[in-house]
Chains A and B, each alone.
Chain A
Amino acid sequence: MKIIPITPVDGGPGGGPSQGLYASESKVYPRSVSGLFQRWRWAFVWLTQIVFYGLPWLQWGERQAVLFDLGARRFYIFGYVLYPQDFIYLTGLLVISALSLFLFTAVAGRLWCGFSCPQTVYTEIFLWIERKVEGDRGARMRLDARRLDLQKFSRKGLKHLLWGAVALWTGFTFVGYFTPVTQLGSEVLQGRMGSWEIFWVFFYGFATYGNAGFMREQVCKYMCPYARFQSAMFDRDTLIVSYDPGRGEPRGSRGRKADPKALNLGSCVDCTMCVQVCPTGIDIRDGLQYECIGCGACIDACDTVMDKMNYARGLIRFSTQNAMASGGGRDAILQRVLRPRVLVYSSILLVLTAAVMVSLAMRTPLKVDVVRDRAALSRIVAGGMLENVYRLQIMNASEEKQRYRLDATGLPGLSLASEREFEVGPAESRWVAVRLQIPYGSAAAGSHPIQFQIDNGGDAHVREKSVFLVPR
């Protein structure tokens, strides 16, 4: 019987130089790149940022179209006035977002990370500013290596100034979703912003500045939870950034006119462009690594070089593990797109999206809560009537003043002894005291279920249950 040692044995495949448990991260200088995926990245930058920076400035009638009024607890999204009780729609939205993420990650990998995540978008914007001010990769590395002189100070200073401006504008826009942006703007100009507004503008601005200016790929590598579990959503048919070692190896430089086969070389000319353009600083030729955010910059860079060498494109390309193993091309990949995982995600997503949309479309712009009086459970009043008192919270979720009519049913002889009609202002919530009466002795002692109906004669009709108590 062989005994397997349970204590660690020294001297395995390691044994190199010593390393601490903590290490300083070296800065990544992504080289600029142009190509299909870089165009897609910038399309998403424009799309997401036009929406983010633009939405608060849209008006809907008298008010901002998208406004989350935390103080008054009303959430305005275009024509809808949502109350905290409508939180279920946010839940629905989050579930739909999560399922969409699972779906397109299963199909095409880290599309979120490489193209639409705010971290990647703002890093792109800040990198663009950095390139404009300090130059491309080589120039930036040389500038950092230099001693601090006037030129370096002014270059760096200008860059940080521009970064700061973008960060503050981002913070301002963020707060503009909670305080109407035009009001916020005039507050800024008059120098009388509220203390919390100041805090959040600077907090969010500082976070943008720090994350997009300095942290960059550190967020993806160490902070983001999605980066850690995205591999669980992949399967062998997920599109990933793949280097084709069968075609590329053995790698080596050679002249443009030289014949690679004669030199016994693969297509890879070892230009290291793919490494230089990578925003996370990895070498994709080592295979897919967890740091890879799937942005496709290495694909663009390699294609450019392949064009110059008159070789076929696609040495690094989006492909699937199955396709790489079988040597299949686009058709092999497309054939596997509609697989069970994708179909299940899609159908659940479809059902949920339809449910949320239908629910929103059919939403009643009226909510009612019935609260029975607890101190005065039941009382006898003049005229030999037995009375119960309730308070109804009438929540008008529309933006017009409404006139509501109240009815109560459920017991023979049940009558309303207080006002039958009341007005509630736009987006207002009002408590109304209601008295119901029955003739004394007409019902048995105990609790009797009754129903309130509140109606505005139009689209708002709500039924709420309650009880009528008859004392022993």
Chain B
Amino acid sequence: MSDFTSGFWSVYVAGITLAGILGCGVLLWLTSRKKVKAGADNSTGHVWDENLTEMNNPLPLWWVGMFVITIVFALLYLVAYPGLGSYEGNLKWTQADEYQKEVEAARKELEPLYAQFAAKPVEQLAGDPNAMAVGERLFMNNCAQCHGSDARGSKGFPNLADNDWLHGGTPEKIKETITKGRIGMMPPMAAAVGTPEDARNVAHYVLSLSNAPHDSVRAQLGKAKFVACGACHGADGKGNQAVGAPNLTDDTWLHGWGEQAILAMVNGGKTNQMPAQEGKLTEAQIHVLASYVWGLSHKGASTAVAKE
């Protein structure tokens, strides 16, 4: 697809380029035919302002030869590569192609290394310092933008270094999360819960589940309304990893702590998405990353496994 808004520009660019190159050639030819008189003192014979003269120091022919080579090279280049407007060039070179080639070459070069890594299971790989160095760099480049350089996340971005998992913390589940991404969706529950007062009561009940400071009267009132929430979060509020519903009885508050935060979730709902990495990263890379992430919450265990 041409970048030009109209066909005129392509012709314009090509025309000016070729005219310029041709002009260089014409200039060389014209000046090669020019003759000046060379006096004994090497001057051209013209006198300005009574006594100003001009010398002629001829340019060496090899220099002229280099100019000619430049012109020929330019023409050959413009036949082979894009430069004359929208003409693609005989070799059909594009920046995107060149980039793809380099990515492929890099992938090929790294294949033996990654093959080594892919052969080991996640638990063992987490104890391999070389693999974890690679994993750390992969994490820093691809995951740290959301999950933080130390993987402990921030508001809305889960902490990967603890043992609290929304969708499951087994190596397979971690790999699945990285590969396919996740969409955690909580629908707005205001209607299901009832009145705004009901919503506040439910919020206090939820606070009570984790033994946080709460209003016990409101909590009692809210317990009955919690049934609507239990469909996803479980009747005991311990969460459901199959749908990514968080455990409400622990200390981890991904979207904020306190009555206001819980009310915001209940009334507004939340869709929290992690992008899939499967197009961006190879399977082997995801394997290494999964080991790195698993290793963050299994610091001692991984090295013990590696020693076996």
Contacts and interface: CB of A to CB of B under 8 A. Distances in A.
B37 A435 contact: no
A23 interface: yes
Contacts of A18: 35-38
Nearest to B31: A21
10 contacts: A8-B48, A14-B43, A18-B35, A19-B36, A373-B144, A381-B152, A387-B152, A431-B136, A431-B140, A433-B151
B101 interface: no
Given A25-B62, A375-B157, A16 B53 contact: no
B60 to A, nearest CB: 5
B39 interface: yes
B32 A24 contact: no
A376 interface: yes
B60 A20 contact: no
Contacts of A435: 150, 152
A376 B36 contact: no
Contacts of B47: 8-9, 11-13
B45 A24 contact: no
Interface in A416-442: 418, 431, 433-435
Nearest to A372: B149
A390 B32 CA distance: 66
B61 A22 contact: yes
Contacts of A17: 37-38
B155 interface: yes
Contacts of A379: 152-155
Contact of B60 (A15, A22, A375, A387): A22
Given A13-B43, A20-B34, A21-B32, A4 B149 contact: no
B61 to A, nearest CB: 5
B146 A375 contact: yes
B273 interface: no
Nearest to A391: B149
B251 interface: yes
A13 B53 contact: yes
Nearest to B133: A430
Interface of A: 4-6, 8-25, 215, 218, 222, 373-377, 379-382, 387, 389-391, 418, 431, 433-435
A391 to B, nearest CB: 5
A391 B149 CA distance: 7
Contacts of B61: 22-25
B220 to A, nearest CB: 28
A390 B35 CA distance: 72
Contacts of B149: 373, 389-391, 433
A418 B150 CA distance: 9
Nearest to B159: A381
Interface of B: 31-41, 43-50, 53, 56, 58-64, 136-137, 140, 144-146, 148-155, 157, 251, 257
Contacts of A374: 145
A4 B150 contact: no
A222 B58 contact: no
A6 B251 CA distance: 94
Looking at chain B's contact residues, the main secondary structure is mixed
Contacts of B46: 8-10, 12, 14
B31 A13 contact: no
Contacts of B148: 373, 375-376, 389
Contact of B45 (A10, A222, A391): A10
A292 to B, nearest CB: 16
Nearest to A16: B39
A8 B154 CA distance: 81
A389 B148 CA distance: 7
Contacts of B251: 382
Contacts of B41: 13-14
Given A25-B61, A218-B60, A431-B140, 6 more contacts: A11-B45, A13-B39, A14-B38, A21-B31, A376-B157, A418-B150
A16 B64 contact: no
Contacts of B257: 380
A389 to B, nearest CB: 5
Nearest to A17: B38
A20 B58 contact: yes
Contacts of A382: 251
B60 A25 contact: yes
The 8 closest A-B pairs by CB, nearest first: A14-B45, A14-B39, A23-B58, A376-B154, A12-B47, A19-B38, A8-B46, A18-B35
A63 to B, nearest CB: 22
B59 A22 contact: yes
Given A19-B37, A376-B154, A431-B140, A12 B59 contact: no
B140 A22 contact: no
A4 B47 CA distance: 11
B92 to A, nearest CB: 22
B35 A20 contact: yes
A19 B50 contact: no
B53 A14 contact: yes
Nearest to B35: A18
Contacts of B35: 18-20
A19 B58 contact: yes
A389 B157 CA distance: 14
A320 to B, nearest CB: 26
A108 B39 CA distance: 34
Contacts of A376: 148, 152-154, 157
B45 A375 contact: no
Contacts of A8: 46-48
Nearest to A376: B154
Interface centre among B37, B40, B137, B257, by most chain A C-beta atoms within 10 angstroms, is: B37
A404 to B, nearest CB: 17
A194 to B, nearest CB: 13
